[in-house]
Structures are given as C-alpha cells and as structure tokens.
Amino acid sequence: MGEGFQYIDILLFAGIAVFLVLKLGRTLGKRTGHESAPEDLMTPISESADDKDDNVIPLPSERRRQEEADQQYESDDSPLSAGIHDIKRLDPSFNPVTFIDGANAAFEMVLEAFVEADGNTLKQLLAPNVFENFSKAIREREKANHRIEDTLVGIDKSDILEARLDGSIAQVTVKFITQQVNVLYDVEDNVLEGDSHKVIPVTDIWTFARDTKSRNPNWVLASTRSQN
C-alpha cells in the first residue's frame, strides 16, 4: 500500500472491530465511549438497532445508495451477483452498502495504525502471526531510524470485485482507489522516497472473509495486494 506498505509482503488477517470510535465518526457517528460492547464495522446496522428503529424511514440518499448497489451488484447473472446471492442465502444480514462502509473504515484504521507504529491498535486488528509481521516491519523501521508518512487523503472509490462462498466461508474482495501522500524519511528527516507535496493515486485490493456458521459477526481481512 504505497511506499509505507512496501516494507512487507503481507497476507493480512485483520479482526475488524470498532474501537478508535472518534476516528470513525464518518461511519458510525458520535458515541459516548461508555457503551457496553463495541459494534463490528461490518455488521449491518439492522442487527444492532433498537426495536424502535424498525419504523425509521431511510433517507433518500441512503435509499439511492441501496438502489445503486442493487443495480451494480445484484441485477444480472454475473459471477459477482451470484456470489452475493449465495452469501445472502447463508447470511441474510449481508448488505453490500454497509459492507463497503465498514471496509472503508477498516482500510483507514489499518493504514493509520501501521504508520503510527501503534502496536496496541494493531494487536486488536491483526491475527497473532500477522501482528508479528507488522511488528517486525515496525522494528526494522525504527532500527534504521526511518519514518514513514502514509497519509490517506481520501477514498475516491471502493467497489466489490468478487463475492463467493467456499463452503461456509464468505469471501468478498474490494478494490479501493485512494489518494495518498507516501514519503520515507531518514533520521534527519531527509526524504529517501516519495514526495511530501505530491498526492498520488493508490489502488489496493483487499479480500475479507467470514465464517457464516460462526456466531461471531466479524469479517476478517484475509489478503491484500496493490496494483501500484
């Protein structure tokens, strides 16, 4: 993922759980921080809503988003549409719109935690073996007295490329087109790679997975690759 993520060749399994809620206001709105349990980023809103929300009428913009998603992902006989229907058959709560929202939030969280060498956050997001890979990359970076700036300026587009079932395991692949600033600095803050004044387009492809038989609603990030 840009120069920052070129440190490691990773196969990433991330537990997508909500914490750092103040950093995810765009997706989840404001919360007090005193909730009894965090919600999963990929869990459809309908699963966690109160009974009184059953009568809430969706805003026109949200209704349009859902209609566009239905048209984009479920309106033909393509493998993608068939895959989404297969997933919904085993997991009726699956919704492409809320899934993409959660995937966008997860993308931002993983990138920020890696750049900031935030081991506590990464430990929450990553499986133990992948956490060790990230930790190793961070240790090597710190040993070399290098610093990275991998700023996510914005997510231009995120689309579901593939959806399929492997037994009970649902797998959904998302293509992210983002704008980032990627720079590698030495100990004296000299630029080794990149340009701090240049925003570049970066394309990443992430595959999320979830066992539909599990009571755990969390999706995990099963793999990542970059087209840049």
Residue 95 has pLDDT above 60, yes or no: yes
Q: Classify domain 4-30+38-44+59-226 by CATH number.
A: 3.10.450.240
Residue 136 has pLDDT above 70, yes or no: yes
For residues 60-83, one letter each, b for 16 or more C-beta atoms within 10 angstroms of the residue's C-beta and e for the rest, the string is: eeeeebeeebeeebbeeeeebbeb
The residue with greater pLDDT, 219 or 153, is: 153
Question: Given this model, what pLDDT does residue 181 score?
Answer: 95
Question: Given this model, what pLDDT does residue 116 score?
Answer: 92
Task: Give per-residue pLDDT as tens, 159-180.
Answer: 999 999 999 999 999 999 999 9
Mean confidence (pLDDT) of the chain: 76
Question: Given this model, what pLDDT does residue 61 score?
Answer: 75
Question: Given this model, what pLDDT does residue 38 score?
Answer: 37
Mean pLDDT on 29-41: 37
The residue with greater pLDDT, 61 or 38, is: 61
Residue 186 has pLDDT above 90, yes or no: yes
